[in-house]
Amino acid sequence: MYSSSLAGIEAKPSVGLQQSELFKDFHAVVEDVIVKRMLTHVVAQYEQRANAEATKVNVALQKVADCHHSCLEAWQCLQTLHAKLKQKEKPVESFWLAECRYRRQADCFCQAQQEANEAASLVVREVQDLEEWRDEMVEKVF
């Protein structure tokens, strides 16, 4: 009888070890889920902010392209009128207006380029700050 009671005592620690191991496994799974959720949230915020910055640059570049197209059209119109003047046709009354239009479009194009350069510089700084923020958030998670 004495030996059977010892066998029961030895069995209890092994059950306790199994429960402890199960608890450790459960805790590790819960930690993994929490870390993955937090990292997923950080990645989502990062992507959202990065996409917003990319949109700003794309808008500025589209404005540059539009201004360039308008400037090119005004230049072509001016050159056509200038060619008519060289052919010694009557003075073209709209030449002065075409030149003014071209100069305005050229100014618009230069201003759009400057704004796009400034937007790109700002976005580079914002992305650097965003990278630092992401690194800090990842460090906090771990």
Chain-centre distance of CA 40, in angstroms? 17
pTM, two decimals, is: 0.61
What angle (nearest 5°) sits at the alpha carbon of residue 8, between those of residues 7 and 11? Answer: 90
What is the predicted pLDDT for the residue at 7? Answer: 47
- Look at residue 114 in the predicted model and tell me its pLDDT: 95
Q: What is the DSSP-derived secondary structure letter of residue 90?
A: S
CA 36 to chain CA centroid, nearest Å? 22
Query: Could you give the dihedral angle defined by the CA atoms of residues 79, 83, 84 and 85, in that order, rounded to the nearest 10 degrees?
Result: 100
In this prediction, residue 2 carries a pLDDT of 45
Distance between CA 137 and CA 42 in Å, rounded?
7
pLDDT confidence of residue 46: 84
Q: Characterise 28 by phi-psi region: left (phi > 0), alpha (psi -120 to 50), beta (else).
A: alpha
Each residue's pLDDT expressed in tens, for the chain with a length of 142 residues: 444 444 444 445 555 556 677 667 666 666 677 777 887 888 888 889 888 888 988 999 999 999 999 999 999 998 888 888 777 766 666 788 888 999 999 999 999 999 999 999 998 898 888 888 888 887 877 7
